[in-house]
Structures are given as structure tokens and as C-alpha cells.
Amino acid sequence: MCLAVPHTIETILGENRALAAAGAVRTEIRTDLVENVVPGDTVLVHAGFAIEKLSPEDSEELKGLWDELRALAGDPYAR
Amino acid sequence: MMEVCGTHTVSVFRSGIRTILPPTLRLVSGPGCPVCVTGQGEIEAALSLLDRGAVVAAYGDMFKVPCEGGSLASKRTRGLDARVVTSAMETLTIAVENPDREVVFLGVGFETTAPATAALVAEAARRSVPNLSVLSFHKRTPPAVELLAADPDLRLSGFLLPGHVCVILGHDPFRFLPEKYGLPGVIAGFEPEQILLGLAEIVRQHEQGAPALRSVYGTAVKREGNPKALGLLEEVFEHRDATWRGIGTIPDSGLALRRKYESFDAEKRFALSLRPGTPPAGCRCGEVLTGKIIPPECPLFRSACTPLSPVGPCMVSGEGTCGAYFRFFKGDRS
Amino acid sequence: MNDTTITLGHGSGGRQSADLVSRLLESFRKRGIGPELEDAALLPGGYAMTMDGFTVSPRRFPGGDIGHLCVCGCANDLAVRGASPDFLGLSLVLEEGISPEEVAFYMESAASTCAGIGMTLAAGDTKVVPAGAVEGMLITGCAFGRIRSPRTLSMAEIREGDALLVTTSIGRHGAAIASARFSLPVEGLLSDCAPLWPALSPLLRLDGLRCMRDCTRGGLGTVLCEWAEASGLHFFLDEDSIPVSFQVKSLCDVLGFDPLYMACEGCAALAVAPSDAEEALRILRQSPLCGDAALIGRVSSAEPKGMVSMRTSIGGERLVDMPWGEILPRIC
């Protein structure tokens, strides 16, 4: 039960409500579960609620993990 | 290795990941589909409220799930007021717009989804909305995972943990995996590449004899989880025993509304008593859900039990192991 | 078919719909007076005929309305069997209380679409029913057209080795409707509802054109499953080759839908001999409607026969089955 889609916050509409965009979709989301979101933030949205803020460092971290894996794969006797 | 999230199950099947894994690796699906493990009695309770004239709002995933009395979809066909919502909060709007109707939200899902229900209840309490209530059939993931980790018949090498559940819970609730059972617990995302990354990390830990709780899902998963969501869960819900359809009762694995919010508890408001379901003859869902057999090993699979006429919980939802296998698995269709 | 009542699932265009249609046609088939299962019937005398009913809600959607939709739906059913859209009959069933201006608007739209493709309204009927008997209005079209194709286009012609093509990006109509129904505005998302005859007619001279099909309810996935089942062959698709627009992908991501099953109304699937595939694509891409036409798979005699499977983006393989019942948003 975990379909969640990254959304970019466009406008804060009021307490716990914001207008956000996911790709070409624009939708109102709830922000009850996250702190201090501002326009421009990227959040993960599940069932209409932002559940966490996403950071631009994410793609860096994932790249790092893949690099770690490739290094391991290149050395089959890694211990 | 076992994954325990319906969304992982679907992503694995839809991307055909099993067809590119080496033969030395076996990935089984566990009880990750909360729709599938919602008890028959729980669905009947929701249907009985429809019969009593209430509006029942639920996520689309729940609509076609059948029990002996039918399903939300079949009740809607007969003119009863079952509505699909894509956010729990829509239910509040329905309640406010229909002050003379009882409006009930069917809360199903694990810890990714439960905070939204908690927010709904908190908001309804803040605004004193008298005609809104919630059927809370939310379940907790860690007790089910521990049940499987402790099962001597399953010889698992590690668990792929649900990324979004861990966005909420953080790492700690799953630390028992390496610490108590010596098993890798790897938190992964849902894109095929992210799942592969998670599986590779399990293999790495296994090869190096160094089981650990580790996230490969990026910054969204923090060690401490989401404090605001956890706070809301703590405020609104308490733990209780829960029955998982096909498996049985898992202690402490359910979320019920606290006494403080009992006026929003539909079970209390409508004095509902939930009937335990009877497993249908020949159904082997319990073994599928706990990863002991794969769907084709069940004699009902694809004969008596299909997505249009599901016998057991694994087939009821497209996200269940049997439903996903039926729709996506190419292997044995000759 | 065991169902005791008709449900919305039966109208969704997937497995349940196919079962329902089979049951309803039994009486005709067993008397030898039953229809083929293609989009349009080829009648003796050189004409093709088709019927299509429309209940779309909302009646106006981004990129079209029920009037335009009805004409396109009927005209496209003819076009994919190689018949020009010549004549149309329209039946309107109106709910008491609907505004005449609204109905006139749809007629204006339908007429404009007809004029654009040389189609003439030859017959019509209007009924008014009590409030509640229908939701607003139902419109049914019955279309006739001269068969222009020198050979019979039908799924019986599909052979091992054939190329599978799609004329444009998929699912735009279904996504546009879902966007309106679930109040999720999507910038740049318009229904693909359009008449395909101008784009498809130049293909008729290709000797290797086997068959074409208008995608409609149940989307591309359903058409390919029906073709595979009827031909007893295996269809193998390449996921990365299937054109899906950014708008459709965004909407499907948010609602948990699969673009393969989203309705289209201006998108056709084609089976073409491998030697004609490149030329077919070149011809299609000359039309402004089919600039993103693509080769998406091949027909083979591999197992499992009668089914569709796909090479996924990650390099794995999986089945593509028909959708089961009504397609609903998921959060799981």
C-alpha cells in the first residue's frame, strides 16, 4: 500500500493545504504530515498527503549506491 | 529473499524482475497487500453500514474486494452510496456537505496510509464534525515481518522492506531483523532499478556475513522516520490484536482509535461486531501469504480462483500475490 | 458468464465486456445470423457498417464532447476496416430536463466533424425519457461507408512475423476523462478524439496491411489481447517503444492507472507484414495526428500462444492480460 509520487509544491493554500504539481498533473495536497513546506520543495505524496520532503541530494546518493555495487560486481571475490 | 509490500509485489511482477534474476536468487512475496489481508468480517461491516443508509468512502483498491455479502462495487450497483476517494480528507468534505447523513471512511492500509486516516480523525475532532466516523482496519507491518522472520520453515536470507512504510516508521521498528534474527533488512524504493538495488544489497550483506538494517531509498527514509506522522499515529491510534485474512491473528498488529476519539469510531458508533471469516475449502492463501508456496502450487489457482471470481484473499486484489502472478507472470502459461 | 447482474465492469472494455458480448450474441450466432467480431461489418455490395453508443461523462471534456466523440467513434470503426466514412445515422435518447442548447451544441460539434471528413447525416431519431432514466443523454451512431480497401482487413489475416504498430501515443482520451472525473487538472492533456480516415486511407495500397483496430475502451492492451486470442499467435511487445505522452504518464502515476488500458479515441493498432512496416510508419507520420506512430512489437509462434507479453524497461518479461472489470484509482 505504497504508491507515492514526487510532487513539487507550487502554492501554500492555507493551514495543511498546498497546490502541488506531479509531472503535468496539478493537484491540492495535504501537508499535515510534513513540516515547513515552501513553494519549490519536492515532497513524496501518498493518498493525497505529503509524507516526506525529498532532497536534491537523493539522486547523488542513489548514484553513489550504484557505484558501490558496480565496484563490488567488478570484484567477484570481494569480502 | 522476501518482500512484504503489495506495491513491491506489483512492481516486481510488472517489470518481470524475476525473469532477469540469476537462478541462485529466489524472491518470494509475503503478506504485503493490506487489501488482501482485510478480513471478510471487516468488509461485511462496511457493507452493513451501506445497507443502513450511510455513505461509505474508500480507496479504489477496496472497491472490488468481495466477501459473502458482496463488495462495495456490487452494493454501489444496487444504488447504495459507496464512493471512491483518492484522499482520506475527501471524506470530511462529504460529511460536511451531507450533514444529515452518516459518513464513514474505510481505513485500510499499513503505516504509509494510516497517518492520513489519523489526520482525518484529528481534523474532524478539531472541527467537531458530528456525522463522520472511521472504520479502522489499519495494520502494522513489523509484527507480520517478525512472524515470518521467526518461522523455521522459511529459510530466508533477507527481507526487502517497504520504502514508504519506512518513510513513516524509520529504521528502528525493523532492527530486530539483523539484531535478533541475523537477517539483512534492506529498505528499498519501488522502481525496478531501486528494487534491484535493494536485492543486490541483501546479497552483498549475505555474502559478507554482515546483516544490517540499511536503506537504499535515499533521503526520504530517515533513521527516525517522520516524527510528525508518528506523533499523529500515536495521538489517534492504539495497538490491538488483528486478524489477517488467510493468516490468522497476529498480536498487536492492528490500529484502533483511542478512547479519546471513540466518537469517531464507527465500530462503536454503530455497535458493530465483526464476524470472523471462514477460509474457503481448498484455499491455500495462508501458505502463499507467508511465502511457503507460490500460486501455481495451489490447486484452485486459475481454475476455481481467478481475478473475476476470487476464492481467497491473495486473488481478491490485483496487488495480491496470486492476482499479480495471474496477470503478469509469463513463465508457466503454455 | 456467471454474473447475475450487469455491472459497470461489463462496460469497461476488458475481459468482462468480452464475456458479456459473447453471451448476448449467442442467440444470433446459433442461428447463423451472427456478426463477426471486428469493429465494422463488411456487407455484401461493398459497404461496411458499424454501430457505437456513447454515454461519456462528463459530456464535455478537454479535447472534445460527446457529439464529436460519436462521429469519430463510428467513422474510425469504418476506417480501420478500410471503409470511407460516408453516411451516419444518429439516435438521441434525452433525459427530461436537459437543456436544448446543450444538445444543439453537441449536434453542431458532430456536424462540424462530419463535414470535415465528408460524412453525411442520413437518418436520425430522438426520444425523451423521464428524469433519471438516463444520465443526461445517450447518443448512438450507426455508420455506413464504401469499402475502399482492395483486400479484406481482418484479424484472421495476422501471421507470424507481422509487425505491430500504433498510430499515436496511447491513453489520452481515458486520461482526459479521468482528469475531469477525479478533478485533477493536467496541463496540455487533451483527448485524442479525432477521425482517422485521412491518416489511415493512404495505407490501403500496402499489400502487407493485415488489419487495423480502433483502440477505444480497454485501450491498446485490450485490442492486442483480443487479436492474440483470435489468431492463436503470440504477440511480443517492447515496453520502451510504446509511445505514452508525459501528460498521460503523469496522470497514470498519480492515480495508479496503466496507460495500456486507458481508452483512446483517435488511436489505431495495426498489424503489418514486416516488409511493409517501415513504409507504413513513414505514411502514418505524414499525418499531423500520427507523428508519433511507432513499431511496438512482433507476432511470433512462441509460447504462450494466444497471449501478449512484453519486454519491460528493465529487460525482464511479463504478460499483458486484459483488464479485469472497472478500472479504479489505487493507492497501493
pLDDT digits 0-9 by tens, B221-232 = 999 999 999 999
Judged by a CB distance cut-off of 8 A, whether residue C314 touches chain A is no
In tens, the pLDDT along B184-196 reads 999 999 999 999 9
Rounded CA separation C303/C318 (Å): 12
Least confident span in B234-238, B279-283, C291-295:
B279-283
Residues of A in contact with C188 (CB under 8 A): 24
pLDDT of amino acid B184: 98
pLDDT tens digits, residue range C227-243? 999 999 999 999 999 99
| Partner residue opposite A57 with nearest CB, options B89, B201, B219 | B219
Q: Among candidates B117, B163, B143, which has minimal Cα distance to B5?
A: B163
Nearest to B7, CA basis, from B319, B326, B333, B331:
B319
Listed in order, strand segments (DSSP E) in chain B are 2-3, 28-29, 55-58, 82-84, 103-107, 132-136, 159-162, 185-188, 213-215, 237-244, 248-257
pLDDT value at B133 more than 50:
yes
pLDDT band at A54 (very low <50, low <70, confident <90, very high): very high
Tally C-beta pairs within 8 A across A and C.
43
In A, minimum Cα distance to B4 occurs at: A1
Q: A62 — contact with chain C (CB < 8 Å)?
A: no
For domain B1-282, the CATH class is alpha beta
Residue C37 pLDDT class (50, 70, 90 cuts):
low
Q: Which residues of B touch C309 (CB under 8 A)?
A: 330
Q: Which domains does chain C have, with CATH numbers?
A: 39-146 (3.30.1330.10), 155-320 (3.90.650.10)
Residue A70 pLDDT: 80
Answer yes or no: is pLDDT of C33 > 60.
yes
Contact A30 B89 (CB under 8 A): yes
Distance between CA atoms of B160 and B7, rounded to whole angstroms?
12
Is C259 within 8 Å of C219 (Cβ atoms)?
yes
pLDDT of residue C5: 77
Q: Which of A3, A5, A26 sits opposite C187 (nearest CB)?
A: A26
Cell representation of residue B253: 498488529
Contact A22 C246 (CB under 8 A): no
Distances (CA, A) of B197 to A62, B319, C205, C300: 9, 22, 50, 33
Measured distance CA(B290)–CA(B276) in Å, rounded: 20
Residue C228 confidence (pLDDT): 97
**Do residues B174 and B213 make contact, with C-beta atoms less than 8 angstroms apart?**
yes
pLDDT > 90 fraction of chain B, expressed in percent and rounded: 85
Q: Is the pLDDT of residue B213 over 50?
A: yes
CA distance C212 to C141: 20
Length of chain C: 332
- The verdict on A46 touching B (C-beta cutoff 8 Å) is yes
Q: Which of B115, B218, B220 sits opposite A33 (nearest CB)?
A: B115
- B318 reaches C (C-beta below 8 A): yes
Between CA B144 and CA B3 the distance in angstroms is: 12
CB-CB under 8 Å, B216 with A3: no
pLDDT at position B309 is 85
Q: How far apart are CA C103 and CA C96, in angstroms?
A: 12
Judged by a CB distance cut-off of 8 A, whether residue B317 touches chain C is: yes
What is the chain A residue with the closest CA to B110?
Answer: A1
Task: List all residues of chain B from 79 to 98 with a beta carbon under 8 Å from chain C.
Answer: 84, 86
Q: Does the beta-carbon distance from C254 to A46 stay under 8 Å?
A: no
From the list B87, B122, B201, the residue facing A47 with the nearest CB is B87
Residue contact A24–C253, C-beta within 8 A: no
C224: confidence class by pLDDT, cuts 50, 70, 90: very high
Q: Are the Cβ atoms of A61 and B232 closer than 8 angstroms?
A: no
Average pLDDT over residues C51-71: 92
Q: Are C303 and C259 in contact (CB under 8 A)?
A: no
**Nearest CB partner across the interface for B84, out of C304, C314, C329:** C329
Average pLDDT of span B202-225: 94
Give per-residue pLDDT as tens, A5-50: 999 999 999 999 999 999 999 999 999 999 999 999 999 999 999 9
CB pairs under 8 A between B and C: 103
List the chains bordering chain A where 3 or more Cβ pairs fall under 8 Å. Answer: B, C
Which of B86, B87, B138, B206 to probe by mutation at the A interface, max A CB count within 10 Å? B87
Closest Cα in chain B to A58: B218
pLDDT of residue C38: 66
Integer angstrom CA distances of residue B42 from B135, B242, B277, C70, C79: 9, 11, 9, 43, 51
CA atoms of A32 and B176, how far apart (whole Å): 30
pLDDT of amino acid C1: 54
Cα–Cα distance measured from residue B303 to residue B296, given in angstroms and rounded to the nearest whole number: 10
Partner residue facing C253 (CB), from A1, A23, A47 = A23
Does the CB of B325 have a partner CB in chain C at under 8 Å?
Answer: no
Which of B13, B35, B84 is opposite residue C332, by nearest beta carbon? B35
For residues C261-278, average pLDDT: 97
What pLDDT sits at residue A61? 78
Query: Which chains does chain B touch, 3 or more C-beta pairs < 8 A?
Result: A, C
Q: For A39-48, B41-50, B295-304, C322-331, which range has the lowest pLDDT when averaged over its residues?
A: C322-331
What pLDDT score was predicted for residue C25? 87
Is A25 within 8 Å of C254 when comparing Cβ atoms? yes
Minimum distance, in Å, between the CA of residue A28 and any CA atom of chain B: 10
Query: Is residue C264 classed as helix, strand or coil in its secondary structure?
Result: coil
Q: Which residue of A has its CA nearest to B5?
A: A1
The whole-number average pLDDT for the span C39-52 is: 89
Residue ranges of the domains in chain B?
Answer: 1-282, 285-327
Q: What is the mean pLDDT of chain C?
A: 93
pLDDT score of C44: 87
Q: pLDDT, tens digit, for every residue of B22-73?
A: 999 999 999 999 998 998 899 999 999 999 999 999 999 999 888 888 899 9
Residue A79 pLDDT > 60? no
- Nearest CA distance, A7 vs chain B (angstrom): 13
State residue C17's pLDDT score: 78
Contact B87 A66 (CB under 8 A): no
Taking CB atoms and an 8 Å limit, are A2 and B232 in contact across chains? Answer: no
pLDDT, residue C21, reads 85
The pLDDT value given to residue A78? 43
Inter-chain contact C328–B63, Cβ cutoff 8 Å?
yes
Q: Does A19 touch chain C (CB under 8 A)?
A: no
B87 with A48: Cβ contact below 8 A = yes
Percent of chain B scoring above 70 in pLDDT: 99
Name the residue among B330, B325, B24, B319 with its Cα closest to residue C317: B330
Least CB–CB distance from C332: residue in A3, A23, A24: A3
Cis peptide before B280 (omega within 30 of 0): no
Question: What is d(CA B178, CA B180) in angstroms, rounded to the nearest whole number?
Answer: 6
pLDDT, residue A75, reads: 58
Q: Which domains does chain A have, with CATH numbers?
A: 5-74 (2.30.30.140)
Interface test with A, best of B161, B167, B207, B224 (most A CBs within 10 A): B167
User: If pLDDT is split at 50, 70 and 90, which confidence band does B122 have?
Assistant: very high
Residues A23, C188: C-beta atoms closer than 8 Å: no
